[in-house]
Structure 1
């Protein structure tokens, strides 16, 4: 493999364009300190690809701190691709998972994330997703003791307000707009934090920073797989985790959004 262009860096890795000996273009992530993160990403991409429901880049290799992926040519976002993606995402979720969690170590950005199984989604979400990052944000000085208490009160409400119990869905886990690559006719998913979780989590992540053609995606999804009543009101519940992660990564700039979401959960 020959590196042809540097694409900058992010978190604990550098990004590159490369070409294989057979002429194929590839996307390359390299890190001497985060090989476990890249191995987790590769495992998640392969797992998401298994049902054949959504498009993900082929994992060409993942070894020794270097992740090599199929190159994806991007194009402007279109309503047609959004509609197809909504149906594809519903099919991915319906493929299901063996339980809440995953059999590989989890990461989001460079932060470790517990994937150990839990008996139900509320306990998994609170113990593996929300509280660890709320407490890490406190330890990093971005949240006060009162902030943590508010988040913990919201966590105490999760089982009560989570809606009807559903079986574990096969979810991307970090489905914000930056992890959607729009190609000529489809959406390709990258940078997963994949695990067995709740399907509303992926939908809430799409809404968090405003995915293109979001209403079209949601309409197509709901036509293929109707959602339980109250799903819109539960969006802040599913955004507690990514907002807590953002406080850990970027500090107090996201503190207000996290506390607002916690207050919204308490109001459900």
Structure 2
């Protein structure tokens, strides 16, 4: 692997001596490394089997978050070119320095990100959620976008993978037909990180929160908050700081499980039937 890393850095323009290559654990999709050369200190991700543009889409998402200016993101130095034998992305190494107020700063920063608005829901280009395609395009209707580009698309993938048995499929189709019953169509489209679980942020120098591994699009801000609650990992300080900037809507508790359904379908498609019972519980909650 040192040879591969050295070749990547050489292509990027760093031909200095390689001092250290250490695996970084925690990701489900790619191999990741902390890399130190005589010239600089990097974070490198490599994937020989991913879609050829997956790292370019990651770099694009980080740039969009950077432009919003609400939270820090790592600087991207280099992305594998089209036609490369394997995909890779090289970023700055962000040293971990958590502070007692890091989560509160993350909450405030996320609320500020959710003030970066657009006139439509979605995104100009498709991207990825994990290693799965995430179709976008622009829509003027949030329920329609959610139906066609999020829940409906993941349902199609699940059926192709044999993970949508007849009762689950029937309930999901019923839910999609009645989506407007629960999902509001008046929320301002705002920039979302799109895949914000506890592993997709870190506390950098001086406790500064950084966002990583985005799946950016514009949607209802509470779609993002619902996912943060799905698997836990965020403290009450995070939510209190968020609400200080942006209080939650009156309908949030009613729509939260439905918003979480998208991410459970993603996990069903990525990791298998162990997520099926959670999908079924939400479907029964809404449509019986």
Please report the TM-score for the alignment, with normalisation by the length of structure 1.
Answer: 0.90
Cα displacement (A) at 1:143: 2.2
Q: Work out which of the residue numbers 125, 142, 146 in structure 2 matches 1:104.
A: 125
Q: Work out which of the residue numbers 181, 188, 200 in structure 2 matches 1:179.
A: 200
Number of the residue aligned with 1:43 = 60
Aligned residues: 264
Cα displacement (A) at 1:77: 6.5
2:36 corresponds to 1:19: yes
2:87 corresponds to 1:70: no
1:231-257 CA-partner distances (Å, limit 9, x unpaired): 123210111110001111111100011
Contact 1:100/1:117, CA 8 A, preserved across alignment: yes
SS in 1 for 2:32: strand
SS in 2 for 1:188: strand
Inter-CA distance 77–141: structure 2 relative to 1 (3 Å threshold)? farther
Contact 2:143/2:183, CA 8 A, preserved across alignment: yes
Cα displacement (A) at 1:103: 2.0
Number of the residue aligned with 1:118 = 139
Tell me how far apart the structure 1 counterparts of residues 272 and 211 of structure 2 sit (CA, whole Å): 27
Cα displacement (A) at 1:21: 5.7
SS in 1 for 2:111: helix
2:149 corresponds to 1:132: no
Contact 1:12/1:33, CA 8 A, preserved across alignment: no
Tell me how far apart the structure 2 counterparts of residues 209 and 143 of structure 1 sit (CA, whole Å): 22
Cα displacement (A) at 1:119: 2.0
1:175-224 CA-partner distances (Å, limit 9, x unpaired): 111112133423211111111111111101111110231x2222211121
Tell me how far apart the structure 1 counterparts of residues 76 and 38 of structure 2 sit (CA, whole Å): 16
Cα displacement (A) at 1:13: 2.9
Inter-CA distance 203–77: structure 2 relative to 1 (3 Å threshold)? farther
Extract unaligned runs of 5+ from structure 2.
1-8, 10-17, 82-86
Q: Work out which of the residue numbers 246, 256, 271 in structure 2 matches 1:225.
A: 246
Cα displacement (A) at 1:20: 5.3
Inter-CA distance 154–248: structure 2 relative to 1 (3 Å threshold)? same
Please report the TM-score for the alignment, with normalisation by the length of structure 2.
Answer: 0.84
SS in 1 for 2:191: strand
Contact 1:77/1:212, CA 8 A, preserved across alignment: no
Q: CA RMSD in A?
A: 2.0
Extract unaligned runs of 5+ from structure 1.
none
Inter-CA distance 218–8: structure 2 relative to 1 (3 Å threshold)? closer
Tell me how far apart the structure 1 counterparts of residues 121 and 276 of structure 2 sit (CA, whole Å): 27
